[in-house]
Amino acid sequence: METIMGKYSIKDLETLSGIKAHTIRIWEKRYGVITPDRTDTNIRTYCDSDLKKLLNVALLNNHGLKISKISKLDYKDLCEEVEKIGFSESSFDTYIDVLIVSMVDLDRLKFEKVLKDATDRLGFEDACINVLYPFLQKIGIMWMANTINPAQEHFISSLIIQKMYAAIDKLYTTEVKENKAIFFLREGELHEMGLLFYRYLLEKRGVDTIYLGQSVPMEDLKQTVEMHKPDYLVTALVATFEE
C-alpha cells in the first residue's frame, strides 16, 4: 500500500523521468502507457503509480525495447522485464530511476541493491557524485511538488547515511596524518548527509577528521578549535542564508 498519493504535473514527470512532455503525451494518446486525471480546468495530473510506470517504461525503452511492445505489457510483466536489466552497462539515469521507484515503494532491498551495484561499479565517491546527488536533486523536486512524505524522506536518508558511515569506516588507518579538519553543523542544523560526504572526501585524501556532527553549540565549537587547532573547518548548510 502506498503511503502517499502524489499529484504530479506533466512537467514534474518530464523532470523526474527525463522523458519530454511532448513524448509523454504521444505515449498516452497512441499507446495508453499512462492515463492522467484531469482537473476542472482540464490540466493533466498524475499519481505515484503513473510515475513508477513511466520510469519503468523509460528504462526498458532506453535498453532497446520498442514502445509499441512495452505498451502491451501489464504492470506485473513490465516490472519483471525491468528486473531482467543488468546494471553492468547501465547509465547513471537507470540507477536514478530505479532508486526513485524503490523510494516511492519503500523497497529497502531494491534500494540497497542499486546502491551497492553503483558503488561496486563506480567507486563510492563517483557513485555519490553521479548517482546519489542527482537522485537527491530529483527528491527535492518531489518535495516541491508535495509528492513525498516524511516517512519516505527518512527512509532514504537513513539508508544513505548508513552507507556513508560504512564507507568512512573502510578508510580507517593508524597512520599519522599531517592535516586536520573539524566537521560540524551549526546549532539547530540536523541534515548531516552532505557533511558526512565531505568527511569521506577529506579522509580519503589523507586528512585527519574530528566529526562533531549535528547541532553543535558555538561555544563548544570554539573550545574544540582552540584545543585541536585544525587546518580546516568544514560545515554544510541546508537553511537559506537569510535564516
**Among 143, 169, 195, residue at a domain's last position:** 169
pLDDT at 2: 42
Answer whether 155's CB lies under 8 Å from 106's CB: yes
pLDDT at 190: 87
Nearest Cα neighbor of 14 from 6, 22, 4, 5 is: 22
Same domain, 215 and 100: no
Digit-coded pLDDT (tens) for 34-49: 888 887 887 888 988 8
Residue 17: which CATH number? 1.10.1660.10
pLDDT at 198: 96
Q: Strands of 232-234's sheet, edge to edge? A: 208-216, 180-186, 232-234
Nearest Cα neighbor of 138 from 87, 190, 83, 96 is: 96
Rounded Cα distance, 199 and 99, in Å: 24
Same domain, 222 and 111: no
Please give the share of the chain, as a percent, with pLDDT higher than 90: 50
Same domain, 120 and 98: yes
Same domain, 67 and 45: yes
> Looking at the 3D structure of the chain, how many domains does it have?
2
pLDDT at 170: 95
pLDDT at 5: 56
Same domain, 71 and 111: yes
pLDDT at 195: 95
pTM of the full structure: 0.78
**Among 119, 149, 169, residue at a domain's last position:** 169
Rounded Cα distance, 170 and 112, in Å: 18
The whole-number average pLDDT for the span 107-115 is 92
Same domain, 72 and 165: yes
Same domain, 78 and 58: yes
pLDDT at 126: 96
72 Ramachandran zone, left/alpha/beta (phi>0; psi -120 to 50): alpha
Domain presence at residue 1: no
- pLDDT tier for residue 3 given thresholds of 50, 70 and 90: very low
Average per-residue pLDDT for the chain: 88
Number of neighbouring beta carbons within 10 Å of residue 205: 10
**Among 124, 140, 169, residue at a domain's last position:** 169
Answer whether 121's CB lies under 8 Å from 91's CB: no
Q: Is 218 exposed, middle or buried (0-12, 13-18, 19+ CB in 10 A)?
A: exposed
pLDDT at 1: 38
Rounded Cα distance, 18 and 158, in Å: 26
pLDDT for 207 beyond 70: yes
Digit-coded pLDDT (tens) for 50-98: 988 998 898 888 888 899 999 999 888 888 888 777 665 568 888 998 8
Digit-coded pLDDT (tens) for 222-243: 999 999 999 999 999 875 545 5
As a dihedral over the C-alpha atoms of residue 113, residue 211, residue 190, residue 161, rounded to 10 degrees, the angle is 0
Residue with the larger pLDDT of the pair 153 and 200: 200
Q: Give the CA angle between residues 22, 114, 120 to the nearest 5°.
A: 125
Same domain, 77 and 137: yes
Digit-coded pLDDT (tens) for 126-150: 999 999 999 998 888 787 777 788 8
pLDDT at 4: 47
Domain presence at residue 2: no
Q: What's the domain range around 189?
A: 180-234
Residue 189: which CATH number? 3.40.50.280
Same domain, 153 and 218: no
